[in-house]
Amino acid sequence: MLFRPDRMNSTSLRRQTAMETGGQIVAVVISADFCVATRQPEVRRTIRVILDSLKNLSISRSEHLITVGISVDPYAEVGTRFLEKLFQFDEIIAGNNWMGLGAIRFLWQDYPGTAMIPQVVILHRNLIVNNAVGILALKIEDERLIPRYTGSDEIMEFDVTVIDNLLPPP
């Protein structure tokens, strides 16, 4: 099925802004309902502060922030419910324990890290959108890991100025 921008409803149009050519900051939160650290109010609050700080940073850089919640819970419905309570993510990947697609990409394969939760992984990439003939073509360029915060202690030490200094110029 082809993507047809002319057939989008008002709900999908609200998210359309993230599909513009330009820089993107991608913030990935990896956790699970069974994670004791993420149940602590100060950790939950700090995760929200991180995501809000990155939103402000992306606006100041005229870029977009994409937030992704990944749950390594065994059951998708448990992980989805947990992530929905944590933050209003743009995208949620849940289920299949440590072998879910999100865990594979951000812990084992593309951006390997320690199998520990919670984590906040921050990427920067450039999105190129070509919609010249009504058929959407997307290309991601220069995607790179900025930092990874592993465990609640590292998450609690987050400083947005560190991220700003690590990002490429807008």
pLDDT digits (tens, 9 = 90+) for 99-109: 999 999 999 99
- For residue 6, pLDDT over 50 is answered with no
- For residue 5, pLDDT over 70 is answered with no
Pairwise CA distance, residues 16 & 26, whole Å: 16
pTM: 0.87
The upper half-sphere exposure of residue 169, i.e. CA atoms within 13 Å in the direction of its Cβ, equals: 0
Q: Tens digit of pLDDT for each residue in 19-72?
A: 788 999 999 999 999 999 999 999 999 999 999 999 999 999 999 999 999 999
How much is the pLDDT for 16?
A: 44
- For residue 11, pLDDT over 50 is answered with no
Query: Tokens 């058929």 belong to which residue?
Result: 135
Q: What is the DSSP letter of 34?
A: T
The domain segmentation of the chain, as residue ranges, is 21-164
Percent helix, strand and coil across the chain, each to the nearest 5: 40, 30, 30
Q: Are 57 and 64 in contact (CB under 8 A)?
A: no
Q: Tens digit of pLDDT for each residue in 81-95?
A: 999 999 999 999 999
| Class at the top of the CATH hierarchy for domain 21-164 | alpha beta
H or E, element range at 119: strand 119-130
* Better-predicted residue by pLDDT, 24 or 5: 24
Q: Give the E-state strand segments of 5-63 in sequence order.
A: 22-31
The set of residues, in sequence order, having a beta carbon less than 8 Å from that of 169 and lying 6+ positions away, is none
